[in-house]
Structure 1
């Protein structure tokens, strides 16, 4: 159970470090003089799939850690940013929508108004849903759920959607696609940067308690 800032930061760091090591090991294998041209091509293709897997896995795992931490702070509903309140009442909203009755939606309103001082029980499971296809559209939704800003990733949309996600999908579906060694090395640096950005955002929000209502 993640209860303290230190617990969360340690969890995030641990998950980050093993992924960095594995990605760097793949890069070293590709760049070694011992590898033939064909071996480098195969490793580059495999490396794109690995790179994507670590990017998706890191966002999903550490994002879920963050939700667990916020939930365990035992804040009341009125102490949290609106996105967390939405997560709390989403199940009630879904039920109201299914009933197609205004009165059902009124129950959601009454719940929020009458439980401002109640402990916020934030759902954790399946909230950080990468949909096995972490495009920028999906990433934007995940960041909203976590109460984080999407702006740092706006300049990386082409990288994420075209160079990473699309290439990974082509490879995963057995399509022929050639990845140059220099291109792979450049992508590696970019993806490592994406992971570091996400990690820094989680840690900064934790330290500054940015998940609280202003």
Structure 2
């Protein structure tokens, strides 16, 4: 919980700092070159914090799961599948210990979840679109319901807008869209922290 809070705190601080400058500029003139530039910069930065926080938080949860060393037979299907996929890739790279673990699984030994990596859960180099968020949450047994109505906001308002800006293309960002994105990202960081904390407390990683 502490690491999740620390990760959220510095990101919220940076978001608030830039938002303050944006509000000051818009109070003087909403359509000034400065206001338009700050809105574009704000969307690019807040997307970075959306993707950065979610992936960091999921990474902390994966580390927690590895420390728990859950018996694979007791893990949820998503976690078990990700662990086995990691073993297969490790075997392809020549890992003898991974081969022994996989044989142990086949023979019913008490193999534990110890090799899982964040890379087995989500592509850290890819944009965090709604579909990737769902895949990662499903893999780790996290509830996705709080994001179920946010597909268009995540994919179009947040990801597509950020990509257009990041690729150097012209795009005018409306102040209403900034507020919509701002509210979503701030709330999402809170939601993700709560979901992961509850999953750890309630042992949602176990196949019950």
TM-score by length of 2: 0.85
Residue from 88, 99, 104 that aligns with 2:83: 88
Q: CA RMSD in A?
A: 2.4
Quick check: 1:16 aligned with 2:11?
Answer: no
Match among 14, 17, 22 for residue 30 of structure 1: 22
| Total equivalences in the alignment | 197
Deviations 1:81-120 (A, max 9, x none): 12111111114556999xxxxxxxxx99864343452322
The match for 1:3 is: none
CA contact (8 A) 1:130 1:139 kept: no
The corresponding residue for 1:119 is 112
What corresponds to 1:45 in structure 2? Answer: 40
**In 2, are the aligned partners of 1:29 and 1:35 still within 8 Å (CA)?**
no
SS in 2 for 1:211: coil
Is 1:177 aligned to 2:175, yes or no?
no
Distance 1:92 1:182 in 2: 47
Unmatched runs of 5 consecutive residues or more in structure 1: 1-8, 98-106
TM score, norm. by length of structure 1: 0.83
Cα distance in 1 for residues equivalent to 2:180 and 2:111: 49
What's the CA shift for 1:149? Answer: 2.6
Please tell me whether the aligned partners of residues 86 and 116 of structure 2 are also in contact (alpha carbons under 8 angstroms): no
Distance 1:131 1:151 in 2: 25
Render the CA deviation track for 1:45-87: whole Å, top value 9, x for unaligned. Answer: 0010101100110111110110000110122112211211111
Q: CA separation in 1, counterparts of 2:179 and 2:133?
A: 23
What secondary structure, in the 3-state scheme, does the structure 2 residue paired with 1:155 have? coil
1:131 aligned partner: 125
Equivalence for 1:103: none
CA distance in 2, matches of 1:147, 1:190: 22
* Pairing 1:120-159 to 2, within 5 Å after superposition: 120-127=113-120, 128-159=122-153
Moved over 3 A (4+): 33-36, 91-97, 107-111
Task: Tell me which residue corresponds to 1:191.
Answer: 185
